Amino acid sequence: MNRRIGFGDTVLLYLDRKRRWLVKVSEGKQFHTHRGFIELEKIVGKSFGDSVITSTGDKLYVLKPTLVDILNFFERPTQVLYPKDLGLLLLKLDLEPGKRVIEAGTGSGVATAAIANAVKPSGHVYSYEVNLEFLNKARQNLSRLDLLKYVTLKHSDARDGFDEIDVDAVFLDLGDPWNVVSKAYLKLKGSGTLASFSPTMNQVEKTVSMMKKDGFIDIETCELLLRHMRVEEGRFRPETRMVAHTGYLTFARKANREDPEV
């Protein structure tokens, strides 16, 4: 049986694919849209999947927010990874509860949240960021998802190295990831995965060159393109706009060096 919605719950009010709002159910408050307003307390007692009617007679569906829904409403002082990139990132890093992950470049905390959600409740993310403003914003965003308990945010430059040892994966979201590849190698378990996200080819070339030099194997770089379809009876066609280039994802695995002192 569906749980009833109560005060303090966060819901997604859905009108259509382009118009949806993330709202906290509060007593004595109204939520206004271009299609009228609703009394938020009227949502109390409903189940997810039910609907409410606005003051203008329009129907809004009350949905349980997914992680993607919430990430779309994160405050973003920086460019963030899109869901299309995050999905492959989580799979290639082989993330599951209990895994320990280092992230270099916290930014808004979008990737941090996705990784933390995958490794909770027994795993942990150690995220390094040099910009204090970004770090504070990420802290606020992660708190909204109740994920901060699975993340250690560090106001530190990843180029100076990492404190953790024997982690399962490392993710680099930096302007110069090649300068951190060697630091990541030292902290990864044998066979652990290193991932890097870069928007330009020159960044990828330098990063892959350093990966090969440091002893990483199984190196691959890919670009993901997402195209939605417009599906109507007798009028199936691709939409005119698509999410094309956002960046290149590079993945590699750590091979242990034959001479442990090298």
- CATH code for the structural domain at 69-254: 3.40.50.150
Compute CA distances 157 → 4, 51, 128, 177, whole Å.
Answer: 45, 48, 7, 12
- Per-residue pLDDT tens digits for 131-157: 999 999 999 999 988 999 999 999 999
pLDDT of residue 241: 86
0.75 cut: is pTM over it? yes
Above pLDDT 90, what percent of the chain? 66
How far apart, in whole angstroms, are the C-alpha atoms of residue 19 and residue 73?
12
The reported pLDDT for the residue numbered 77 is 63
What pLDDT, on a 0 to 100 scale, did the predictor assign at position 178?
98
pLDDT of residue 76: 66
Contact 151, 116 (CB under 8 A): yes
> For the ranges 1-5, 120-124, 130-134, 156-160, which has the lowest average pLDDT?
1-5
Q: Is the pLDDT reported for residue 262 higher than 50?
A: no
Query: Greater confidence, 151 or 228?
Result: 151
Highest mean pLDDT among 54-58, 215-219, 224-228: 215-219
- Residues 74-123 pLDDT 10s: 776 666 788 999 999 999 999 999 999 999 999 999 999 999 999 999 99
Q: From edge to edge, which strands make up the β-sheet containing 124-129?
A: 151-155, 124-129, 100-104, 167-172, 188-198, 248-254, 216-222
Of the CA atoms within 13 Å of residue 179, those in its CB half-sphere come to 10
Q: What is the mean pLDDT of the chain?
A: 91
| 161 pLDDT above the threshold of 50 | yes
134 touches 110 (CB < 8 A) = no
Domains 10-65 and 69-254 share a fold: no
Query: Where do we find the tokens 């949806």?
Result: 20
Indicate if the pLDDT at residue 1 is higher than 80.
no
- Give the position of tokens 């007593």: 27
Q: What pLDDT was estimated at residue 183?
A: 97
Q: Is the pLDDT assigned to residue 163 strictly greater than 80?
A: yes
Predicted pLDDT of residue 219: 98
The values of phi and psi at residue 16, to 5°, are: -155, -175
Q: Helix, strand, or coil here: 56?
A: coil
Beta-carbon count within 10 A of 40 CB? 20
- Per-residue pLDDT, averaged over 174-200, amounts to 97
Q: What is the mean pLDDT of residues 175-200?
A: 97
- Give the CA radius of gyration of the chain: 21
- Convert 93-123 to b/e letters by CB count within 10 Å (16 or more is b): bebeeebbbbbbbbbbbbbbbbbbbbbbeeb
CB 193 within 8 A of CB 231: no
Res. 261 pLDDT band, cuts 50 70 90: very low
End-to-end CA distance of the chain: 60
| Domain 10-65 CATH class label | alpha beta
Ranges of each domain in the chain: 10-65, 69-254
Query: Is the Cβ–Cβ distance between 142 and 109 less than 8 Å?
Result: yes
Residue 155 · residue 130 · CB < 8 Å: yes
pLDDT value for 252: 98
Please give the pLDDT value at position 80: 74
